[in-house]
Amino acid sequence: MRGKQLFEQKSPAIMRQLMEDFDLDAIQAAGILGNIGHECNGFHNLHEIGQPARRGGYGWCQWTGPRRNEFLDWCKQHHLDWKTDAANYGYLTEELRGSERAAISALLKTTTLAGAVKAFERNFERAGVPNYAARNQWAKLALAAYADLEDQADALSSSE
């Protein structure tokens, strides 16, 4: 788990946005981030290592095959660089509201972090080798970063 600082910085805001956009709780949103963290090594590898251009996985979710092409085409249509957070979050929500909406339905049925991680992997990522241990580690990191930020916000509001 290299480079976790960037992941800890970005995760809370992404989780908050997912919670707002899809009516998820923090555990369910962290389940998504656990998968994303694993797929792109905490936002450090947005193109699958060792793959030539237009091959392998791209973006936060390491979209491959037809989904990679759809992601890159969507970015082009929306005039977004595929490497940006706006492009990756935008396309993630596009899929979660459309072709991959079953992932949200599955997530909403979960109550544990491990359950949320597994539900998102099975219904959205569909990895050849799931490696749940790593996905769960990233999810715990995301949840802890989110909780720390919430604690800081609570401390600020109580001191005013």
What is the tens place of the pLDDT at every residue in 117-142?
999 999 999 999 999 999 999 999 99
pLDDT of the residue at 96: 98
Distance between CA atoms of residues 136 and 142, nearest Å: 10
Q: Considering only 78-87, 126-135, 150-159, which range has the smallest mean pLDDT? A: 150-159
Q: How many domains does the chain have?
A: 1
Q: How far is CA 94 from CA 46, 66, 75, 91, in A?
A: 18, 15, 11, 5
pTM of the model: 0.93
Domain of residue 133: give its range: 4-159
**What is the CATH classification number for the domain harbouring 31?**
1.10.530.10
CA atoms within 13 A on the CB side of 22: 31
